Chain A
Amino acid sequence: MAVRRIDQDHTRFRQIVRGKIKQNLKRFVSSGELIGKQGDKFVSIPMPQIALPRFRYGENKKDGVGQGEGEPGQPVPGQEGEGEGQAGENAGKHTLEVDVSLEDLARILGEELELPNIEPRGKKNLRASAGRYTGISRNGPQSLRHFKRTFREALKRQIASGTYDPDHPVIVPIRDDMRFRSVQTREVPQASAAVIYMMDVSGSMGREQKEIVRIEAFWIDTWLRHQYKNLEVCYLVHDAAAHVVDQHTFFHLRESGGTKISSAYELCLQVMRDKYPVAEWNVYPFHFSDGDNWSSRDTERCVDLLKTTMLPACNQFCYGQVKSAYGSGQFKKDLDQAFRGDEKVITTDILDRDGILPSIKDFLGKGR
């Protein structure tokens, strides 16, 4: 069958979806509504704005007719407890959801923020495929004909069918004997990447601040996963001391107490030494905090750690300062002062959810 009509319409539909996501990227990012809807490879994105508008009834059409048991005054069975139930002959609010692959989403993010692709460096663990003509197949162009194999096949056939005459060794290949060189994909090792997220969970980081970190981390993940085929992620939290935690804990833990940022950097360095040696890994440490540190002595220690050990071992170091009601924001100033002009250190201020996109652009815009 030729190209089916429906495929054209379907492609057009996907194009429109893509356009809408691009248009609304900012809203999707700041509302954080995509997170939690992602599976391994796809995100479902609610797209009410794609359905054609019509003059139609709204939600206040609350009465309806049903069929079943029950006395007047009893609740209609089969609805959800929260009163969100959508029983009724009008299907209720039906939001269109479209599945988009994370790969696509990353591409859209890249186009919208004009992110450069990251140049691969390092040599291990990651696989990419390269084609080489090492295989043999029964079909192919004449230019790739494998003479020796073809001859051998013809010979075999002639011997088997008894037409081979040793005194008069003429071999005539037929179509079935033909063998051709073919492309075989071969896996070659490529650069691998690790992201280390560090978050300040001291008392001053509230829910909203953590949500911002969560959203930002989702998009950074999406982008880096698009760039590296194999991405490892590691989560650290710190207040006065630092711990390695899993993803869920990272986003939900609420601790209180003081803040000693150096503790996180020390732990981070240890993780990098143990698991992600610089020769083989592209390491991206991200640190999110509200900018309050225990003391200026500790800040000095942080700067020192960064300068001497962390920076040489990672691609770039990113610090995102989330505004909170209690944070002084001093830490960013100190970092900016210490690393003025150093391309490897990127610091951003995230005032609110709308600040997420620009901050991502700053972090990833260098293509390192």
Chain B
Amino acid sequence: MANLTPDLAALRDEARDLARSYGLDFYEVIFELVDHDELNMVASYGGFPTRYPHWRFGMEYEQLSKSYAWGLSKIYELVINNDPCYAYLMRSNSITDQKLVMAHVYGHCDFFKNNAWFSHTSRKMMDVLANHGSRVRRYMDRHGVEVVEDFLDVVQSLDNLIDPYSPFIHRDDGRVREGEGGVREVKKIAAKDYMDRFINPPQFLAEQKRKMQEEDARNRCFPARPTRDVLKFLLDHAPLQLWQQDILAMMREEAYYFAPQGMTKIMNEGWAVYWHSKLMTQHLVDASEIVHYCDTHSGTLATRPGQINPYKMGVELFRDIEQRWDKGRFGERYQACDDPEVRRRWNEPTKLGRERIFEVRRIYNDVTFIDEFITPEFAEDQKLFVYGRNQQTGQLEIVDRDYRKVKNQLLDALTNFGNPIIRVVDGNYQNRGELYLVHDWCGADLQMEHAQMTLSGLQKLWGRPVHLETSEEGKGKLLSFDGTQSTSKDITKTTGQALAVGRGDPPSR
């Protein structure tokens, strides 16, 4: 890796000052000039060249280098949420592309620093991951590469089982506190005062009381309420060795670090495109470069009929918001107006657009962004539609262009960044120390084969049989793995949900 050439350094300074002049606010950005092979390498490690060793990165690398060699894909930009931010420029790119990438990167860096969902991510992740790397390497030296690798495989296959909101919410862990929840009294046998001492001897009462407390403790649910942070639950309760706990904790930390990027894909890309487009077209691009710029830019925003391009979606939404808040198309009066013609011509020079988009980039994530800002006009302008598979022809067909349906469909796909929501409901299922998970089924089935395999990995960590309650085509299913064989049986769906709901309420007795 090398530092920038003087030309590029001058361009960087120009782009940086321009970005600042528009109010973008970012940590220092360090650009590294790399060739395609180095870029592929860094990209395989998710941007962190010092990560722990794992074959998965080698696989990633093989795919990236191959598709680069065949001309199928090329990584334009890679930027890391860190203080300072690191960004990579490909040596072979033209000057125009370098300018574009720099402007784009400043957009991302501003987003990383200011978006609320990133506020809990470590800004020293470069160092943290390097430390993780050396710890994992040390464990490999001590316990053997394969043992550690197998463990990493299992943990990685579970690393989407986290609770992405937990850094922001203090969840009541449901523990019954001293003096709460009414302590039961031991029933005495009725007796005259002078006989009481003999009929209800104090030792016996004390003994009974102790038994009752033990029983209560046993009946108390574990976990007290269903938790989505399965990794945390395992960390706290699975019978792991110290090095395993340490690795699990590291992987969990990494999962939480990467989570906000999954939660803000559309916004983050949209924001970066908005800024590269603004900076390039208004300042950075020379007349001679304009065609080249347009070519690259439109390549980024190209849509295919059956797909949503997050870059396109994001930037169009930001621009729409800016326009609406510039022209006063918000608030009660505008919402109440239902004459499309009037709405279309609505123009009150409020000029709040710029301010509004900065605010949006601070407080929204993809789900809330889509939910709040997709309007009927936007859906129509962007020609959004919902499609589904026609059972007769097997073809995908346009089903509807109603913006509410479009929005719902998008929200569905973005919820939990496209991952199923799975909770630990019981860590002592059937009072036999078995682990019981429930998948919040809402229409889409799990990939069953994968689910079974993941479950068998989970069993390795938990040590006792594990179960996952889910549904297939609306019918309840219980997948289990007991250490030797996988089973799948039909169940009535309500059990787990009742369990979940019952346990969601604060314990009352």
- Whether A9 pairs with B55 at a CB distance below 8 angstroms is yes
Nearest Cβ on chain A to B226's Cβ, whole angstroms: 15
Determine the residue in chain A with the shortest Cβ distance to B303: A67
- Dominant secondary structure of chain A at its interface with chain B: loop
Contacts known (A53-B450, A56-B446, A89-B413); A67 close to B308, Cβ less than 8 A: yes
**Which of the listed residues B59, B413, B449 has the most CB atoms from chain A within 10 Å of its own CB?**
B59
- Whether A76 pairs with B306 at a CB distance below 8 angstroms is yes
**A residues in contact with B309, CB < 8 Å:** 67
Contacts known (A57-B444, A58-B447, A65-B413); A76 close to B305, Cβ less than 8 A: yes
B369-412 toward A: CB 8 Å interface, digit per residue (1/0)? 00000000000001111111110011111111100001001100
Nearest Cβ on chain B to A232's Cβ, whole angstroms: 31
Contacts known (A61-B444, A65-B406, A67-B307); A87 close to B387, Cβ less than 8 A: yes
- Whether A55 pairs with B439 at a CB distance below 8 angstroms is yes
A4, A70, A78, A98: the one contacting B41 at CB < 8 Å is A4
- Whether B422 pairs with A78 at a CB distance below 8 angstroms is no
Contacts known (A13-B59, A55-B160, A74-B397); A65 close to B448, Cβ less than 8 A: no
Interface residues of A in 1-45 (CB under 8 A from B): 4-6, 8-16
A75-96 toward B: CB 8 Å interface, digit per residue (1/0)? 1111100110101111000001
Q: Is B488 interfacial (CB-CB < 8 Å)?
A: no
Q: Is A162 interfacial (CB-CB < 8 Å)?
A: no
B51-89 toward A: CB 8 Å interface, digit per residue (1/0)? 001111111011000100000000000000000000000
- Whether B396 pairs with A99 at a CB distance below 8 angstroms is no
- Whether B418 pairs with A57 at a CB distance below 8 angstroms is yes
- Whether B420 pairs with A57 at a CB distance below 8 angstroms is yes
In the complex, A53→B82 CA distance in Å? 30
A8, A62, A68, A72: the one contacting B389 at CB < 8 Å is A62
- Give the size range of A's interface with the partner: 35 or more
Determine the residue in chain B with the shortest Cβ distance to A70: B398
Determine the residue in chain B with the shortest Cβ distance to A54: B157
In the complex, A330→B382 CA distance in Å? 72
Nearest Cβ on chain B to A39's Cβ, whole angstroms: 12
- Whether A67 pairs with B420 at a CB distance below 8 angstroms is no
- Whether A56 pairs with B387 at a CB distance below 8 angstroms is no
Contacts known (A12-B55, A68-B305, A87-B307); A53 close to B387, Cβ less than 8 A: no
- Dominant secondary structure of chain B at its interface with chain A: mixed
- Whether A83 pairs with B394 at a CB distance below 8 angstroms is yes
Determine the residue in chain A with the shortest Cβ distance to B388: A63
- Whether A69 pairs with B383 at a CB distance below 8 angstroms is yes
- Whether B157 pairs with A53 at a CB distance below 8 angstroms is yes
Nearest Cβ on chain A to B187's Cβ, whole angstroms: 47
- Whether A52 pairs with B398 at a CB distance below 8 angstroms is no
Q: Is B161 interfacial (CB-CB < 8 Å)?
A: yes
B58, B401, B453: the one contacting A53 at CB < 8 Å is B453
- Whether A88 pairs with B306 at a CB distance below 8 angstroms is yes
- Whether A52 pairs with B56 at a CB distance below 8 angstroms is yes
Determine the residue in chain A with the shortest Cβ distance to B456: A53
Interface residues of A in 135-194 (CB under 8 A from B): none
- Whether A6 pairs with B45 at a CB distance below 8 angstroms is yes
In the complex, A83→B388 CA distance in Å? 12
- Whether B66 pairs with A66 at a CB distance below 8 angstroms is no
Q: Is A50 interfacial (CB-CB < 8 Å)?
A: yes
**Which of the listed residues A9, A15, A62 has the most CB atoms from chain B within 10 Å of its own CB?**
A9
Contacts known (A55-B446, A57-B447, A58-B448); A65 close to B385, Cβ less than 8 A: yes
Q: Is A274 interfacial (CB-CB < 8 Å)?
A: no
- Whether B409 pairs with A64 at a CB distance below 8 angstroms is yes
Determine the residue in chain A with the shortest Cβ distance to B49: A5
**A residues in contact with B157, CB < 8 Å:** 52-54
- Whether A9 pairs with B447 at a CB distance below 8 angstroms is no
A8, A57, A65: the one contacting B308 at CB < 8 Å is A65
- Whether B58 pairs with A12 at a CB distance below 8 angstroms is yes
- Whether A90 pairs with B58 at a CB distance below 8 angstroms is no
Nearest Cβ on chain B to A8's Cβ, whole angstroms: 6
Contacts known (A53-B457, A87-B306); A64 close to B413, Cβ less than 8 A: yes
Contact sample, A vs B, 17 pairs, CB 8 Å cutoff:
A5-B41, A6-B61, A9-B57, A10-B58, A12-B149, A13-B59, A55-B446, A56-B419, A57-B418, A66-B385, A66-B386, A66-B387, A67-B305, A68-B306, A78-B305, A87-B396, A88-B307
**In the A-B complex, the 10 residue pairs with the closest CB atoms:** A87-B306, A83-B394, A13-B58, A9-B58, A68-B305, A53-B453, A58-B447, A10-B58, A13-B55, A12-B55
What residues make up the interface of B, taking CB atoms closer than 8 Å to A? Answer: 41, 44-45, 49-50, 53-59, 61-62, 66, 149, 153, 156-158, 160-161, 303-309, 312, 382-390, 393-401, 406, 409-410, 413, 418-420, 422, 439, 443-451, 453-454, 457, 468, 473
Other than A10-B61, A10-B62, A66-B308, give 6 A-B pairs with Cβ distance below 8 A. Answer: A10-B58, A54-B160, A58-B446, A67-B303, A75-B390, A75-B397
